[in-house]
A and B are shown apart, each in its own frame.
Chain A
Amino acid sequence: MLDNIPSSQLSRRQMLKAGSCGFGYLAFAGLCQEAKADYTSPLAPKASHFPAKAKRVIFLHMRGAPAQQDTFDYKPVLNERDGQVGRNKSRKLMGSVRKFAQYGESGRWISDACPHVAKHADDLCVLNGMHTDIPNHPEGMVMLHTGSAQFVRPSMGAWLMYGLGTENSNLPGFVTISPPAINGGSKNYGSAFLPAVYQGTAIGDIKTPVKNAKIGNLKNGRWSKALQRDQLDLVQALNRDRLKQDPVDSQIEGVIESYELAYRMQSELPQVTDLSQESKATLDMYGINQPKTDDFGRQCLLARRFAESGVRYIELCHEFWDHHSNLRKGLTDKCDATDQPIGALLADLKQRGLLEDTLVIWGGEFGRTADSPKRDGRDHNAKGYTMWLAGGGVKPGFKWGDTDELGYEAVDGKVHLHDLHATMLHLFGLDHKQLTYRYAGRDFRLTDVFGNVVHDIIA
């Protein structure tokens, strides 16, 4: 009955009417007419502060901090001085373990560890001057996701949900695929003091291949679809009895609505996560069913399907980029596992016209050092690193910021993590200074008292 109309275009009342099969609806509607205090779902779409360029975000979270010198930050001087002593006498400089070349019309320097992403050089907006506060994984990761390493704060996905609501009420608006349980765990997709409804829905966890991930309570192991509908009709009949006693009670209306949405979610969510509907060509493009790329390929394809269905915030995760040693092999393995899926995701979003309003973000909690006490490894560096963006209203084929010639720290076009958060909200039409929530007597923001929108990278 709803198949031909996108649910996001239906009004709440239309949905109630259609969703409850019209059972007793007329009497119900009559009662509701006098309802004054109207129920509005906290997830209902909300207007942005100003026109948005991005509608959704896909964050490719590379846990462990990838080495920028071997991926997206070309350092010829560092390469020349390979093996020499740099700023620190006990350490030796380490040139890139990969070969860089220029790609695309933009001539972006990208290493040969990322040949697939390199094909999209002209879509990328590379931020070579990133910096953050703490070069330590647990705090760095929490900082990346919540803007604060020190206090328990809402995650950026929760802020977006709070600011904008959800486009597709049949699906969670904020999903995180394969999240790690450590380094803050659920805090990285939590809502902290924001209402709990804005927290992310986890799909699987990092220890489980996403192929085997399950979403809680979507399937009923006991009742057939028909029996469940009968049962739901009984539930709604009971609920309407309550509503008759108090026709202005928005809470009961909210419960009634939530069951109808849940009923639809049951069929829509498994559909979205069912990759068997994709062609072999698509699966191959993402590297699915290839041992190295299968897991992240599935994550990326899921991300595209969620993006298509109007999910607001989608996070993926690939971990173990922490190459203190064994960088050559380690980095190559990580890139081999993620490069093709990411390239496919960018291509796929583009061919479906989704890239222009989907903000893709790639990066880890910080970056890595130019020098090392031992060969073939890099340590933590929060002073200068690289993230890249694509789509969603950022300048394509663009590079912003630089580290010094050896790559110790960002020196030009510096973008602090708070600035990235502010810019992300800006692309969604939200002023990071206005998007506040009152808690414990004061207004909180994702960017706390920091953050500047980086207008230079906005198209």
Chain B
Amino acid sequence: MPQRFATTLVALTVLAGSAFAQEAVKPTDKQAAGIAFFEKKIRPVLVAKCYKCHSKASGKAEGGLLLDTKVGIRKGGDSTHAVVPGNLKASLLWDSLNYTDLEMPPDKPLSAGVIADFRKWIEMGAPDPRDGGKPVKGPASNDLWSLKPIFNPKPPAVKNTAWSHDDIDRFVLAKLEAAGLKPVADADKQTLLRRISFDLVGLPPTPAEIKAFLADDSPKAYEAAVDRLLQSPGFGERWGRHWLDVVRFAESNGKDRDKLFPHAWRYRRYVIESYNADKPFDRFITEQLAGDLLPADNDSHRDQLRTATGMLAIGPKPLSARARLQMDLIDDQIDVTSRAVLGMTAACARCHDHKFDPIPTHDYYALAGIFRSTETLYGGGLSQKKGAGGIAPDLQPLGSAEEMKTARVHLTKLAGMNKQLVAARKKLTALQKGKGKKKAKGKKKQKQTKPEPQAKPDQPATEKPADEKPKPNPIAAMQQQIKKLQQQVAALNKQAPPPLQYAMAVREAKKFSDVKVHIRGEAKKLGEAAPRGFLSAVKLDKTIAVDRKTSGRLELAQWLTDSSNPLTARVAVNRIWHHLFGRGFVGTVDNFGTSGEKPTHPQLLDHLSQRFIDGGWSTKSLVRTIVLSRTYRLGGLHDAASHAKDPANELLWRSSRRRLDVEALRDAMLAASGKLDLAPPERSRVAEIGNGEVGRGINTKPLEREFLHRTVYMPILRTSLVEMLALFDFPEPSIVVGRRDVTTVPTQALYFMNSPLVIKHAEGVAQRAIATGNDNAARVQQAYQLVLARTPNQAETARVVAFVSQTADKLKATETDADKRELAAWTACCQALFASAEFRYVD
């Protein structure tokens, strides 16, 4: 604890220390008198009443506060300065002694006389001779590598000048040579094609693609394959999913109340489209933070920009804790923004200065002000609010102004009629009641009639069968009127414009304001106000300040994506490298702080970051550059000597084997069986369900229906993940996860052995293999190409053929139909290929 505390004090102490050192060179008489006052009136009280919990000697620094040094008392604890010389209002100690905010000492207040002494002492400038508090070394920003500006290092000289294709290779090779290692041979063509296909689009190459690639002997064959894949819509589906991991995408709230987010899919579509369009990464970030504040070319462009801000709206929220909801929502927004974009754990500074990184609580609340000046449209809390004209007030309606107007006019008209209908029904009830009363005299209580349900806008009102013969009386007249109104409602509904579309989004709040520091994160203990701003330790080459008449989101986006921001490009490049090599330069991809890992290739990381910025933040260009490098194309050969020196392959002497993630596993099975529907679904299964809450009587039919689209489009419900996703390390969708777990456990094996889905798709592969004809070798080749994307050798073919014929033989006992036996035997064989480690990994 003392050690940890030491690191928290840090930078402020350094500053404060130097300022005061200058102040107290030679005591004047006035100063001497002040110090005498301190010694007589103040120090004894501090010793008797405060040191027990706030001194080095006691080993306690409650609230991060030490009162036994001048530095400590002036710096204060977690919240703000305890004593500001000459300024009672700014001195938290003063408030605390007066029991206005904190209550100190906690057992009982000091006497009025003693408190008056403190007033005098602070007002006279808080003279304090105690200088025993040595400034403690802590996370000063200039110590942290990731906060230093990106420098553009020259590619190093290498001994083997023939090996490199690109500067990337020179950086890698130089490190290998320095360690006395040599890169292994390049990967063969089939391995490379499978690798690049999974890495770029998350799908295996088709037999036709394999054939074409093997047949193309030109030196540009590989480049052509890369370019084909970069143009495929699968690129956005693959790389968009990587981003969705980082921004904790889901289609329900999770946490204590798992309310559905039936409009979240639009944000997913936006992300995928952005990657396919190769939207510059700086622009991509800007749109997600402040798309609503950017100029739009037309209505659909504006909708797209608004949808982009869904990133800030889709997080998990404590829906049943209203009091905490706003600050927890803001915390989620700070967390996702700081970790996804900056690789900084700023949310750690909610209750105290960051323990390891130079992020004071003040910075946290500076960011919090930006998000509190923002309204988050996430669909509202647990009860569905109705807005004016029937438009949901807690979501962003989409469409042209005209469409919105038409919808509003329609909904308003409908609401008006429904109102009339309700009034008429009330009247009718009253009339019938009156009649009933007359009939049943003496009866005291009438059974309460339930109010008639309102006609819903999307379904025509049902008529009640009138069982009484219409008579010329007020009741009949009223019934007639109701019938007429119902007909009008039905007619109106027939001409209804298409229902309004919504997105989860944010927009500017009605009021812009700063947030006061919440002492220890508590909403009731407020410290000084933190003007809206950014992380103070991250230095740009220019000043960006929040326009006080806005929330500050646009400026936040500008600040994040400024080319001199040392973190944003590095973090983005590191994520890309992580997805292509299985490990980032910085292994802790979401944490570039002191407690994160240091980069294995800092120069290469900076080189690529600069190239990324210079190349207009183009993800596709950077991916292309990397996959064309020789380093990426290395084979996976084992080399005992290299392994002995670098078993984890951190220096990249070979290609590391990687586990396919769950999306690639499932998509590859469906692709192999020919069942995969590559077209994206129109919307989402969760949208089909609509509003509701998981586990509380929602219609689960849409979730149970067979799903043949790519896995990225599967419903993501936070408390109820699809089985295969849960089994194969799908990241927890409530938190930022840039690096997924890779576990290998028996439940995954059981899935491959027994899941009806695996067997079904194995049968699909078997059918395609059998369809090649009667030649067993050709069948094996087809199955191998479909599942493993390569040609089997003779021994492999023989083994599989033997298995199939033996299995077919054994099945004779139970299956009389020879065709069925054959299909079953081939199915069992293809299932074994799916289950193999070769299928589950990419080399």
Contacts and interface: CB of A to CB of B under 8 A. Distances in A.
Contacts of B693: 182
Contacts of A259: 746, 749, 753, 835
B744 interface: yes
Contacts of A182: 258, 693-696
A242 B838 contact: yes
Interface stretch (B317-325, B389-397, B534-542, B550-558): B317-325
B383 interface: no
A115 interface: no
Contacts of B324: 150
Size band of the interface chain B makes with A: 35 or more
Contacts of A185: 258, 694-695, 719-720
B753 A186 contact: no
B600 to A, nearest CB: 18
Interface string B354-376: 01110000000000000000000
Contact of A217 (B636, B754, B833): B754
Contacts of A187: 254-255, 718-719
A379 B444 CA distance: 34
A36 interface: yes
Interface in B561-612: 588, 590-591, 593-596
Contacts of A230: 803, 806-807, 810, 828
B748 interface: yes
Given A185-B719, A441-B595, A234 B829 contact: yes
Interface in B11-27: none
A376 B811 CA distance: 66
Contact of A248 (B348, B643, B720): B643
Interface string A91-108: 000000000000000000
B256 interface: yes
Contact of A218 (B643, B695, B754): B754
Contacts of A263: 749, 753
Contacts of B840: 255
Interface in B760-809: 796, 799-800, 803, 806-807
A197 B833 contact: no
Contacts of B803: 230, 234
Interface string B830-843: 01110111101100
Contacts of A34: 640
Contacts of B345: 440-442
Nearest to B745: A197
Given A182-B694, A441-B356, A441-B595, A219 B745 contact: no
A77 interface: no
A441 B745 contact: no
Interface string A368-382: 000000000000000
Nearest to A142: B256
Contacts of A242: 836-838, 841
A252 interface: yes
B489 to A, nearest CB: 36
Interface string B731-765: 01011110001011111111101111001000000
A261 interface: yes
Given A152-B732, A183-B256, A227 B695 contact: no
B828 A196 contact: no
Contact of B753 (A226, A232, A246, A256): A232
A220 B747 contact: no
A251 B736 contact: no
A261 B321 contact: no
Contacts of B746: 169, 258-259, 261-262, 265
Contact of B732 (A43, A193, A438): A193
Given A258-B746, A258-B749, A216 B593 contact: no
A270 B218 CA distance: 57
A190 B732 contact: yes
B744 A254 contact: yes
B520 to A, nearest CB: 11
Interface residues of A, number: 77
B78 to A, nearest CB: 13
Nearest to B332: A151
Interface in B701-748: 718-721, 723, 726, 729-730, 732, 734-737, 741, 743-748
Interface stretch (A54-62, A132-140, A292-300): A132-140
Contacts of B829: 231, 234
B100 to A, nearest CB: 26
B647 interface: yes
Contacts of A186: 719-721, 726
A282 interface: no
B167 interface: no
Nearest to A169: B746
A134 B638 contact: no
B836 A37 contact: no
B753 A220 contact: yes
A169 B745 CA distance: 10
A262 B743 contact: no
A42 interface: yes
A152 B596 contact: no
- Which are the 5 A-B pairs with shortest beta-carbon distances? A185-B719, A181-B695, A138-B256, A262-B749, A182-B695
22 contacts: A138-B320, A149-B256, A172-B747, A182-B693, A185-B720, A187-B254, A193-B737, A196-B726, A199-B726, A217-B747, A217-B753, A220-B754, A227-B810, A227-B828, A238-B838, A245-B637, A245-B638, A249-B638, A259-B749, A266-B754, A441-B357, A441-B588
Interface of B: 254-258, 316, 318, 320-321, 324, 328, 339, 345, 348, 355-357, 588, 590-591, 593-596, 636-638, 640, 643-644, 647, 657, 659, 693-696, 718-721, 723, 726, 729-730, 732, 734-737, 741, 743-751, 753-756, 759, 796, 799-800, 803, 806-807, 810-811, 814, 824, 827-829, 831-833, 835-838, 840-841
